[in-house]
Amino acid sequence: MVGVTAPASANPSQADGPETVDTVTLISGDQVAVREGTVRSVRAGAGRESITFSRFVADGRSHVIPSDAARLVASGRLDRRLFDITTLLEFGYDDARRDTVPLIVTRPAGRAAPRVVDATVSRELPSINGTAMAVTKTGAGDAWNALTSAGTMAAGVSAVWLDGQQQATLDRSAAQISAPAAWEAGYTGAGVTVAVLDTGVDQTHPDLADREVAEQNFTDSPDNVDRRGHGTHVASTVAGTGTRSGGRYRGIAPGASILDGKVLNDRGYGADSWIIAGMEWAAAQGADVVNMSLGGPDTTALDPTEQALAALTEEYGTLFVVAAGNAGPDNHTVGSPGSAPEALTVGAVERTDEVAEFSSRGPTERDGVIKPDVTAPGVDIVAALHSEGTTGPPVAEGYTAKSGTSMASPHVAGAAALLAEQRPDLTAAQLKAVLSASAEPHPAYGAFEQGAGRIDLARALEQTIVSEPAAVRVGTVAWPHDDDTPVSRTLTYRNLGEDQVTLDLTVAATGPDGVAAEVFSLSQNRITVPGHGEATVTITGDTDLGTLDGHYSGTVTATAGDSVTRTPVVVTREVESYDLTLNYTDEHGAPTSDYFTTLTGMDNGRWMYPYDEDGSATVRLPKGHYVADHVVYTEQGGHTNWIQQPGLVLDRDLTVDVDPATTRPISLTPPAEATLEFADIGVQLETATGILINSLSFADLSTVSTARIGDEPPGLGTNGWVNTSWLGADEASYRLVWFLDEFPTGFTRAVSRRELARVRSTIGRGALPDGSARVEWLPQPLTGYAYLLVPPTDVPRLPDTRTEYLTTDGVRWDPTLSLLSANGDPVATLRAVGGRDYRPGRTYHERFNDPVFGPVLPPTEFPWTWRNSDGIYVEIPMFADAAGNAGVSSTGQANTRLYVDDELVGETPRSASGYFTDLPAEPRTYRLTTQASRPAPFTMTTAVSAEWTFRSSQVDAPEFRPIELNVVRFLPELDANGTAPAGRPFLLPLELRDETGAAVRPRRLTVEVSYDEGSVWRRAPVSPGLVARLGHPAGASSVSLRVSATDQDGNTVTQTVTRAYLLR
């Protein structure tokens, strides 16, 4: 068989059936509709019609922020993930998969938990003064009013967080960290308790039998059973006995006891509140060490899991060992809670001690802390395979190999257990310090890649000198660097032993280019540390001695005979940077705190929300080009002023006054009495790092005004728009849209009907007897693509006729019809591929959803089927309507097969969809077959099949050539219900069209008809004009059609449609 891969094209795909719309209800009660990952519309919650919504898209991630949430998001009191639509979908928090919004609400110490209507409290989280609760989406608006008040937090509420999700961060490794030396010294972890917070632990595995002392399930899974296998693998690395392998796959601390806290469910995901509850339980149970091979993205905020880790470390003295994450090799990728300063955060190395490419790097997002702290083996780690055996192929009976910082972290947790057994008096901070001080750094990596380096247990057991802090961030020296002032930090050496120790100190570092750089100096090169005492030394970073901007990373090494203590050290020579000060005023010219700014770097794609409650926010940023979108709310939040600054070039210290008095109104007058249903103004910028989208949606033009600060820089690729939808008193829709080559700085238009196209649309009943539909008229510029918001129009009953008045100047319209079953599920989609170009003052008639449904190849920019190199790509809409609107549908059984000279070479389980590779280069005859069935509730085109033959040969890459295919279109005259009269003659016009959509004169064409769904077929005569003459028998209920055609080049097609239309 040749290779088969998933198709990729801009055309409608058959692979997943009809286009679906995901609805996400926000904590505010507002609803966001998303299609194929793109936000398409926003619907305000009940009583919130005056709210405006800011949409922001960068790096492919969409945010929708209501105006009464903006200030709270900017100030950090409201978790921005609550309005991160991409994240909410990734977490499975859309309405189809979850009917509640999970929250963590924190409060000041000593205050009672807030009472929130329509919310169920799942647990208290005392370590952060928090309450985990789930708010019903139907009652989200009321909960929002209970938690907030006029753009501020309600009394007794400190912050509201999304109860987000974290996931698992997926023989020789013990020797790599010198564990055998600890075993030979008699240390096994006996008397030490290690909590494994993970997917559960399989106690039936011989390596883990009798190791567990307590267990608790904090998830939505029914019990503590490890059905994922991750926790079992991790626990085995920490404390597995190796019994099943005769000791070969023994864990690092085989004598340690295990606390089994299941905080990740059977899918490998865990809510933040589950993880925090597990952390609290483990600490209260007396765990000396807690392993957390899990994490989620870090942010600039101090999130609840980071808060809990810090609080529990202080209260109980518990050491939390956390995986750094698998998002490397980029910087700033260490996940939370590994980003907490108190955590012992672990990166992964190969067997050669090289940092694994996947291992996350520092510094942390919030405060630039050096992370990870240490590294450990994390590639192809062999450990216990859980009893269900679903996590990977066994490498030996009862064992499997895994890679990730998840595998590195338990090596360090086990090492900490051995160290705690040896020296039970060590605090969590001292355990961390000993493992860091005794680590072995790799010379090719800096502190943000490896921390102190790969742990070394043999050294750790002998280590008596540690440094505080365990890693030193000396500071950042601001640009310019013509005369840098050295920066210093105090480094304290603590002696955990009884005898005084004299240390010889050296420091070595490399610059941003990896070349040695002598930027660090020490106040002393030799110090004496008394037994159980301390001594200090000052480390100074002088970036004036460097020549490159960036991080200078090195190690302070303290030696005393064979004893070595290493401390990672970093100083940053700031790249060319400047202060940006933003001053905000209200309508009276007074400073205001009611604003929201999104600041995006055009050179690096990073974005932020600068904010300060006094109305003046200062941020320091690298030199470069930025886009600032300022939104200032005036008139007590009743008016939204959007002021864009697309050409913010930061090449000096800059102050920007954001003044709503500079804005101009948005004013539109439709040609007839009409009510505004929806408005969306926006701008789309094409940058070096991707597409940046900002828009504002609202329902009252009088509440919004806009302005621009400065000129728009050339070459930005700006596409602005004013997009409105109105409902006329005569029930006609007025869709008034304008595309601009700049941000809309105020906009005024009075529109007459002669400027508009009148489109009369008829929607047939189609194949769903009790269905309904949604119509979406997507406006697009004549060139390119704009990501507008387009709320759909509900069509509750079919058939239906509608009238649209549409602007035409510079606008192409892409109508889409989504067909819904009786329970509202989308089951089919019809789309006018290529769009419609209408002329002003003219009337047009469009038809949708009329039989016969079947394959179509409408003209499009990219071919539906093509050959390139050794592959053939196929993506044919198999359920188009009679008007040729491309159609996709939910199906039952479906397949597509490709034959070369009657030999099957590829197959997919989809209708007319696939990419078949490794095909012969020479010209050969190919046969492509496809079939699909449609179960109830469909009553027409319940099955469709097609077979094509054609010749094809290799095409030199990167060129591609369309495949010469033809399709037959049936064009009967039917009533609005898709039926024809029984007991009478009937004419059936046909068309044969090629891959370009052009009409083809067939060499041969035959038509067969069946009135019993294909049991018996009879030939129908066909006129030279391609009209078949049928005789519908009395008593028949449906007509099935089969046609075979050959074109002038010998290409053939046979199509069969079961129940093509119905008889009455």
Tens digit of pLDDT for each residue in 13-66? 544 457 678 999 999 999 999 988 899 999 999 999 999 999 999 888 999 999
**Going from the N-terminus, what domains does the chain have, and what CATH number goes with each?**
21-44+55-163 (no CATH), 167-463 (3.40.50.200), 473-573 (2.60.40.2310), 865-1063 (2.60.40.10)
Catalytic residue (one of 54, 127, 406, 725): 406
Whole-angstrom distance, CA of residue 403 vs CA of residue 347: 12
pLDDT at 10 over 80: no
Per the CB < 8 A criterion, the answer to whether 846 and 883 are in contact is yes
The stretch 505-525 carries a mean pLDDT of 94
Band of pLDDT at residue 1030, cut at 50, 70 and 90: very high
Band of pLDDT at residue 619, cut at 50, 70 and 90: very high
Backbone dihedral region for residue 398 (phi beyond 0: left; psi -120 to 50: alpha; all else: beta): left
pLDDT at 389: 58
pLDDT at 17: 59
DSSP letters spanning 250-300: --S-TT-EEEEEE-S-TTSEEEHHHHHHHHHHHHHTT-SEEEE-EEB---S
The stretch 580-584 carries a mean pLDDT of 98
Per the CB < 8 A criterion, the answer to whether 696 and 682 are in contact is yes
Q: Which two tokens stand for residue 1046?
A: 């050959």
CB atoms within 10 A of CB 542: 20
DSSP letters spanning 462-490: H--EEEESSSEEEEEEPSP-SSPPPEEEE
Band of pLDDT at residue 612, cut at 50, 70 and 90: very high
What's this model's pTM, rounded to 2 decimal places? 0.87
pLDDT at 4 over 60: no
Q: What is the pLDDT of residues 273-327, one digit of tens each?
A: 999 999 999 999 999 999 999 999 998 889 999 999 999 999 999 999 999 999 9
Per the CB < 8 A criterion, the answer to whether 132 and 121 are in contact is yes
Amino acid in position 90:
E
Q: What is the pLDDT of residues 329-369, one digit of tens each?
A: 999 999 999 999 999 999 999 999 999 999 999 999 888 88
Amino acid in position 906:
G
Indicate the average pLDDT of the chain: 92
pLDDT at 172 over 90: no
For residue 639, indicate whether it is catalytic: no
pLDDT at 171 over 90: no
Whole-angstrom distance, CA of residue 638 vs CA of residue 705: 12
pLDDT at 5 over 50: no
CA angle 877, 878, 882 (to 5 degrees): 95
pLDDT at 835 over 50: yes
Catalytic residue (one of 79, 163, 198, 800): 198
Exposure string for 1030-1050, b = 16+ CB within 10 A, e = fewer = bebeeeeebbbbbbbbbbeee
Element (H, E) at 836: none
Dihedral pair phi/psi, residue 652, rounded to 5°:
-165, 170
Residue 116 CA, distance from chain mean position: 30
Whole-angstrom distance, CA of residue 332 vs CA of residue 369: 10
pLDDT at 743: 92
Closest CA to 212 of 174, 240, 186: 240
Whole-angstrom distance, CA of residue 1016 vs CA of residue 1006: 16
pLDDT at 379 over 80: yes
pLDDT at 318: 98
The stretch 386-393 carries a mean pLDDT of 70
Whole-angstrom distance, CA of residue 611 vs CA of residue 242: 55
pLDDT at 111 over 90: no
Whole-angstrom distance, CA of residue 735 vs CA of residue 776: 11
pLDDT at 1045: 97
pLDDT at 11 over 60: no
* CA contacts within 13 A on the Cβ side of 702: 2
Q: What is the pLDDT of residues 419-439, one digit of tens each?
A: 999 999 999 999 999 999 999
Closest CA to 837 of 816, 813, 815, 818: 813
* 96: three-class secondary structure by DSSP: coil
pLDDT at 2 over 50: no
pLDDT at 19: 67
The stretch 434-453 carries a mean pLDDT of 94
Backbone dihedral region for residue 341 (phi beyond 0: left; psi -120 to 50: alpha; all else: beta): alpha
pLDDT at 112 over 70: yes
pLDDT at 859 over 90: no
Decide the pairing of beta strands 61-66 and 38-43.
unpaired
Band of pLDDT at residue 707, cut at 50, 70 and 90: very high
Whole-angstrom distance, CA of residue 688 vs CA of residue 671: 41
What are the E-state strand segments in 496-594?
501-510, 520-522, 526-529, 534-541, 550-560, 563-573, 577-584
pLDDT at 7: 36
The stretch 993-1012 carries a mean pLDDT of 95
Q: Which two tokens stand for residue 775?
A: 């119509």
Band of pLDDT at residue 3, cut at 50, 70 and 90: very low
The stretch 231-250 carries a mean pLDDT of 93
- Residue 518's Cβ-count burial label (10 Å; 0-12, 13-18, 19+) is middle
pLDDT at 6: 35
Dihedral pair phi/psi, residue 1020, rounded to 5°:
-115, 135
Dihedral pair phi/psi, residue 419, rounded to 5°:
-65, -40
Q: What is the pLDDT of residues 895-951, one digit of tens each?
A: 999 999 989 999 999 999 999 999 999 999 999 999 999 988 899 999 999 999 999
**SS3 labels along 364-387:** CCCCCCCCCCEEEECCCEEEECCC
Which one has a higher pLDDT value, 113 or 489?
489
Closest CA to 169 of 318, 23, 305, 291: 291
Catalytic residue (one of 13, 30, 67, 230): 230
Whole-angstrom distance, CA of residue 735 vs CA of residue 740: 16
For residue 198, indicate whether it is catalytic: yes
* 182: three-class secondary structure by DSSP: helix
Amino acid in position 10:
A
Share of the chain above pLDDT 90, in %: 82
Band of pLDDT at residue 386, cut at 50, 70 and 90: confident
Per the CB < 8 A criterion, the answer to whether 755 and 672 are in contact is no
Which one has a higher pLDDT value, 235 or 176?
235
For residue 230, indicate whether it is catalytic: yes
The stretch 843-864 carries a mean pLDDT of 93
